[in-house]
Structures are given as C-alpha cells and as structure tokens.
Amino acid sequence: MSVANDIGRRAYIARLVQKIADPAQAILGYQELVIEAVVENGPAEALPDLEKVLGAARDLNLLIKRLLEMEASQTAGIFTVDSELRHDLRTPMNAILGYSEMVMEDFSDVLAAGVADDIAKIIEESQFLLEQIDGRLDVFSDDPDEKPTDHIDVTIAADLARSIAARVAPSSDETGRILVVDDTASNRDLLNRRLTRDGHLVTVAGSGEEALRILETQGFDLALADILMPDMNGIELLSRLKSHERLREIPVIMISGLKDDDAIIRCIEAGAEDYLHKPIDPVLLRARITACLERSRWRERERRYLAQIEFEKERADTLLDAILPRQVVKRLADGEKVIADRIDMATIVFADIVNFTEFAARTPPITLVQRLGELFSRFDELADQHGIEKIKTIGDAYMAAAGLPDPRPDHAQAAVAFAKAMLAETCQMTGERPLELRIGINSGPVIAGLIGRKRFVYDVWGHTVNVASRMESCGTPGRIQISQSTFDALGPDVVECHRQIRDIHGIGKYPTYLLL
C-alpha cells in the first residue's frame, strides 16, 4: 500500500471514529435516563442489568474518546489493525445490547412506557453503531468510499436463524452441558444467563487455563470460546482440545469481535464446529447451538451404532469360533465360498457312553442334560489342551480329530493322550450312576470341509472315519481300542497293548489293539 493510500486509510478510520461518537453518546444519555426512571418507579430487579449497560456505555465512550485524542495527536499506526479496533469496540457493544435485550425480555410487562421506549432507542442506536463498524471498518481498498456488503450476508443469516427458531423451540433433547470460556465478565454472564434460560447447564471459565482445569474433572457437550484472551487465545485452546484423546470429541464454537476471515479459517482448520461474531444475536446463538448439539448427538448415535455393530460382529465371531476351527472362520471371513480339504494323515477319535439309553430312561431330563453337558464341556477343555479339533457330538457320542485342519506329525500320539484324559475325566465324575466310556481310534487320510448355509457344520468323511467308528462300537467299556494304522503311526511311542484279530462289520478280519 502506498504512503498516500496509508494516510488516506488513517484519515478514513479517524472519520469513522468521529462518526460513531454521536450514537455512543446517545446510548449513554438514554441509559442514564432509563436508570433515573427505574430508580424512581421500578422495577428495582432490573437495576443490576441496567447498571451493567451503563458501565459498558461509559467504557465505549471512553474508548472512543481515547481514539479521538490519539487521532488528534497524529499518533502513527494507531489504526493499522482494523480487526483489533473492531474487537475493542464490540466488547462494550456486546454488553449494551445483551443486557438491554434481557431487560426487555424479563421486564417488558412492568416497565413504564417511556422507559421501554428509551431502551428500544438504546438497542436501535447500538445496532446503528454496529452497522457503522461492520459497514465501514472492512479491509481498506483504493476507494475509501467503497461500501462493503459483508454485513448483508450476516443479516440474511440472522433472519434465517430467526425463522428457524420461530418454527422450532428448544426442547429437552436439544439442551446440553456447555462450557463458556471468555475473559470478559459481562460476556460470560450474558452467555450464562441466555443459555441457562434455554435449559442448558452452563459452566464458565475466565481463561483457557481455567477451562482446561475444569475439563479435567467435568464432561461437556459443547464449548463456546472467545478468540482473544490474554493467557491463552481461543485458537490455542482449541488446538489443545483437539490434540487431547478424551477432549477432542467436544464440539467448539468460537466467538469473537473480530471480523476477520483469516481468523475464521484458522478456527475451522483447527477443528472448530462453528463461529459467531460479537455482539451475539440471541436467536442466531440458539440456532447455532441447537444445530451443533444435534450434529454432536448424531455423531454419538453413530458411534454407539458402530460399537453395537462391532459388538455383534465379535459375538458372531465368538459363536463361529465355538463351532468351527479358527482357520475355517478366517477363510469364511476372507470370502472363500467352498471350503474342502484332503488331509493325507489324521487321527479320528470316537467316544460313546456305554448303556446311555438305559441311563436316560431312568434319569430326569434336567439331570440328564446337566450331566451330559458337564461331561462334554470338560471334553471340550481337554481337546483345547491337547490341540485336538472337536468335530461334533451325536447324541451321547463325541467325535474329535487330531491333525486337521492343520496337519501335525504327532497326530496319533495327541489323539491317544486325549482319549486317556477323557477316560480319566469320566471316572472322576460323581453321581448315583457312574458313566463309562468306550473309545475307538483310527488314523489315515480324510476329507474335511464345511457344509450347510443355515447352520454351518465342519465335518470329516472317508474310510478312516468309518473304521474309527467301528473301533469304538466293537470296543470294550472303559478301554481304548486303536486300529493297525494308528498302532503303526505311534511308532516307538506305542504303549502297552493287547493285539487281537476282530471280525469287523463291513471290513472283515482286522487287527486291533486294546490299550492296557
């Protein structure tokens, strides 16, 4: 910017300060008349708010007086930062408008007609003064007489907010716990009272550091933070919140007297939910907070739904893990449609409860199911301990396999150890009628795969399975009978056993080994 242009800029803003001096003095004059009338005729309850308006009006006039004196002394650079000047002017304006509007809302039915008219004039002069600030204190261009139109957008937004608020009144679902952070006491008080009136639970903090201390022990649905604060500005506070794992989800609305697009952009980039200018229009404030809380609640609902979906998924996975091998569950999750494998060598274990039909006929149903459930649950635990895959239960029969779905070289040894543990567990169970197992084992190639869609079943097929079933059915109660192939697979680990040639149904003469 040229020197001439800079001189024109300072002269232009100086004229602006002189122009806003008249409405500022009018506001002060009207307010003094209002207080005199209320002191004389009441209502006395309105005096605390009216005194705050008077104090803000005096602050405003004192600020303008200092600006005029600086201009008269030609202090260089006094008006070089338009945004800071606007902020300084808006701070008392926020108090004047806010408290005046609250007096009109709270005491309109008891105020004398003349007093109400004077307060209306104060509000009108305040709005005119704001138009002068917003309409003429924008970024200076080569044409000082250029009239900016940004305030038109603000007016449209405010009108839209009023129309929304007129249609939708705040409900209990739209209220929340709100933290207000502002270093100006009147701003905190006005926001506190307005938000409390709308049903919100409000906590105030006079600085960013105080806000962080409060957030350590309290939870909030929303925070309103001023940008210009002495110890920690609002953008720094916002950054601290968004970098904190627990606090980053709290939506933040930034508030400031700055009419600075760069500040707005920085706030949004730092994670702000919205931005409001001072003095705050109460209707616009309500609309923004309602919308913000609603968005926050939708996000919370979304988090709950996602958590519920994840919970249901984990529960479904747990159920699948309980009925299918872990490797098969993974293949299903990876999208494999048909799961079928040929296992070159595995060992199949069949265990059956001896005389279970007679036992069932003499046992109450509840007792029967409880005893069978306890026994098979213990078998499941033993299977996990020995690395055995439970295949299924068929009535009172328990079928398991070693060496599938993942092959293992010691499948026969693992199966025999598991079978011995099953016998020992059955002997330890107490009851009026002790249970007794008959176990058969065979080793060889099998086909394993997943069948069904409504109810998945992981099963095994082949001659090896049939022979294992025959080893059990022709075995001896309380003993383990193994086939020749299992005996061979045990190799040097074979245990003491009794060999015999059995006539096996469907197989013929076949050597078997009864473990001692």
The secondary structure of 456-497 as a DSSP string is -EEEEESHHHHHHHHHHHTS-TT-EEEEHHHHHHHGGGPPPE
Sign of the four-CA dihedral 441, 442, 443, 444: negative
| pLDDT number for residue 163 | 52
Beta bridge partners of 441: 349, 482
Q: How many domains does the chain have?
A: 3
164, part of any domain: no
Query: What single-letter DSSP state applies at residue 145?
Result: T
Distance CA 255, CA 249 (A): 19
Among 280, 298, 316, the domain-final residue is 298
Q: Are residues 230 and 333 in the same domain?
A: no
Q: Report yes or no: 473 and 503 within 8 Å, Cβ to Cβ.
A: no
Phi, psi of 308 (to 5 degrees): -65, -40
- Tell me the CATH number at 251: 3.40.50.2300
304, part of any domain: no
Distance CA 439, CA 480 (A): 5
Q: Are residues 177 and 128 in the same domain?
A: no
Q: Are residues 337 and 219 in the same domain?
A: no
- Tell me the CATH number at 70: 1.20.120
Q: Are residues 273 and 384 in the same domain?
A: no
| pLDDT number for residue 422 | 93
Q: Are residues 289 and 204 in the same domain?
A: yes
234, part of any domain: yes
317, part of any domain: no
269, part of any domain: yes
Residue 73 belongs to what domain range? Answer: 1-139
305, part of any domain: no
Q: Are residues 341 and 467 in the same domain?
A: yes
Q: Are residues 398 and 503 in the same domain?
A: yes
Q: Are residues 287 and 345 in the same domain?
A: no
Phi, psi of 509 (to 5 degrees): -65, 130
Q: Are residues 342 and 477 in the same domain?
A: yes
Q: Are residues 373 and 486 in the same domain?
A: yes
Q: Are residues 293 and 331 in the same domain?
A: no
pLDDT per 10-residue tile (average), the chain, 516 residues: 52 61 79 86 88 88 75 45 66 85 86 85 83 59 44 46 48 77 81 84 91 90 87 87 86 78 80 80 83 84 87 79 77 80 92 86 86 89 91 90 90 93 84 80 92 79 92 89 92 81 83 88
- Tell me the CATH number at 392: 3.30.70.1230
354, part of any domain: yes
| pLDDT number for residue 167 | 45
Q: Are residues 366 and 456 in the same domain?
A: yes
45, part of any domain: yes
Q: Report yes or no: 50 and 134 within 8 Å, Cβ to Cβ.
A: no
The set of residues, in sequence order, having a beta carbon less than 8 Å from that of 297 and lying 6+ positions away, is 173
